[in-house]
Structure 1
């Protein structure tokens, strides 16, 4: 498994990367700090307390969000989403799927 978030940048995708969370600011700070501790850096966290973006992405699970990842185009349309509690533990697989979905989108 890659232990560095720079790997996302190494994919050379023209994308911005964020964490979207319903969590409170205090909870987001804990998450940010833990990601930074494990990976040496973290990602910006966007607050979605009403789960609007999370719902649009098909990641809403009642009043919480599924864990996973996905991609929106510049118009806010969902390109893909994957529900996966273990995406971080399976980081190489996660990166492969992101790259494949991005390349499929770009070739359309």
Structure 2
């Protein structure tokens, strides 16, 4: 898929650095992390849960419109299913 991929987190820059480094250590590469301390993007995505974010994934189009979002605490453990869902959602969006 020809998409930009990011992790969006409320975490501090220091906490994000730890996460980035751990992902890089385990997988040999990581993703850019966007800081969203006020949960603005997270809220727009429908992923705000009080003063924290739900775990999950989603997609925005180039205009910033939400294509889909999925709340799932286990998306990483179910990575094959997660990737299939993202690919299916992307294909449905690009066919329109």
TM-score by length of 1: 0.86
Q: What displacement does 1:98 show?
A: 0.4
Unaligned 5+ segments in structure 1 are 1-12
Give the Cα–Cα distance (whole angstroms) in 1 for the partners of residues 36 and 18 of structure 2. Answer: 16
Q: What displacement does 1:107 show?
A: 1.0
Give per-residue Cα distances to partners, 1:73-98, cap 9 Å, x unaligned: 00000000011111111110010000
CA RMSD of aligned residues (A): 0.7
Mapped pair 1:72 → 2:53: no
1:70 is paired with a residue of what secondary structure? strand
Give the Cα–Cα distance (whole angstroms) in 1 for the partners of residues 78 and 61 of structure 2. Answer: 24
Give the Cα–Cα distance (whole angstroms) in 2 for the partners of residues 89 and 24 of structure 1. Answer: 24
Mapped pair 1:48 → 2:48: no
Q: What displacement does 1:38 show?
A: 1.6
TM-score by length of 2: 0.97
Partner of 2:78: 90
Give the Cα–Cα distance (whole angstroms) in 2 for the partners of residues 36 and 102 of structure 1. Answer: 25
Give per-residue Cα distances to partners, 1:25-78, cap 9 Å, x unaligned: 111011111111221111000000100000000000000001110000000000
Higher relative contact order (CA 8 A, sep 6+): 1
Partner of 1:3: none
Give the Cα–Cα distance (whole angstroms) in 2 for the partners of residues 84 and 28 of structure 1. Answer: 20
